[in-house]
Amino acid sequence: MTRVMGIVNVTPDSFSDGGVHAGRGPAVEHALHLVDDGADLVDVGGESTRPGALRVDADEEQRRVLPVLRDLVAAGVAVSVDTMRASTAAAALEMGAVVINDVSGGLADPDMCAVISGSGATYVVTHWRGHSAGMVGLAQYDDVVEDVCTDLLRRVDDLVAAGVDCSQLILDPGLGLAKRPEHDWRLLASLHRIVGLGYPVLVGASRKSFLGELTRRPDGTVDPPADRDVATAAVTALAVAAGVDLVRVHDVAVNRRAVACAEPPSAGSPFVATNTSSSTVRSAL
C-alpha cells in the first residue's frame, strides 16, 4: 500500500507555500488538517531546498521546526523532519520524530550517519548533488536513470558501512534536485528501476516546476505551484502503479484519492506508521 506524506513548510521562502504556515500555530493547524485529509504522516521542514534557496543556520531551523514537532507528537501525529543537519535530526528524534527526511542523503553533514545509526530511525536517502544555491549547474548526466541508481546505491553502501542498518533506509530519486524537466520525466518513466533496487521508495513530485512546464498554456504562461495539484495527482497514480511506498505531497486529499484509484485492492502489506517516540516508519516487505 502506498502511503501519503503531507508537507508542512515552516519557512518564509519555500517555492509553493513559503510564509503561509511560517509559524507554530499555523503550521500545527495545517498539519492537523492534512491528517484529517488522510495523511499517514507529516513532513515538517524549516529550510527551503528549492533551486537557488539560501541556507539558514541550525538555530533558526530548529526554532522553526521543534515547537511544531513537539505539538504534533503530543497530538499523536507521526512526524517526519526534513533536515540536512545532524543536530536538528538528533533533537527531532529525541522529541519523537519517526523519520528523518534528508534531501542530501547524508552528504551535507558528516555527523548525520552517527545520529541515524544510533537511533534506529527511518531515514530517507535522497539523490543529491549539491546545495540549492548551485544545483542548477549540477544537472549533468550521462544517463540520468543509471546515474541516479548508481549514486543511490553508493550512498546506501556508505551509510551501511557507517553503521546504519539497511532496514532503516528509504530511497528518493530527488525529482527537481539538480535535474532538468527531461531528467525528472525519465526518472518517473523508470520508477520500476528505482523500486527494483530493493528498498522502499519515496517520490516527491508535488507542485514542482517540471509539472508547471508540462501544463504550460498556449500563451506561454505557467500555472503557479498551487494550481499543479491535478498534475501532481497524475504523477502520484503513476508512482503507485510503479510500486512506490510513499508519496510526499502538499494536497493530501486529492492525492489520497489518486492512490485509491491507482492501487489494486489486493495490494501488499501496508507501510506502517505509528506515533510513539521509539517507533519508525517502515515498509513491511
For residue 248, indicate whether it is catalytic.
yes
How many other C-beta atoms lie within 10 A of the C-beta of residue 52? 12
Q: How far is CA 97 from CA 40, 82, 137, in A?
A: 13, 10, 34
Quote the cell numbers at residue 246.
Answer: 510513499
CB burial class (10 A; 0-12, 13-18, 19+) of residue 220?
A: exposed
For residue 179, indicate whether it is catalytic.
no
Task: Tell me the C-alpha distance between 133 and 237, whole Å.
Answer: 31
First to last CA, the chain: 10
How many other C-beta atoms lie within 10 A of the C-beta of residue 94? 11
The answer to whether the CB of 178 falls within 8 A of the CB of 128 is yes
Strand residue runs (E) in the chain: 3-9, 41-45, 79-82, 99-102, 122-126, 169-172, 202-203, 246-249, 271-272, 282-283
Annotated catalytic residue within 3, 85, 129, 248: 248
Annotated catalytic residue within 208, 228, 256, 282: 208
Quote the cell numbers at residue 260.
Answer: 485509491
Task: Tell me the C-alpha distance between 46 and 56, whole Å.
Answer: 9
Q: Indicate which residues carry an active-site annotation.
A: 208, 248
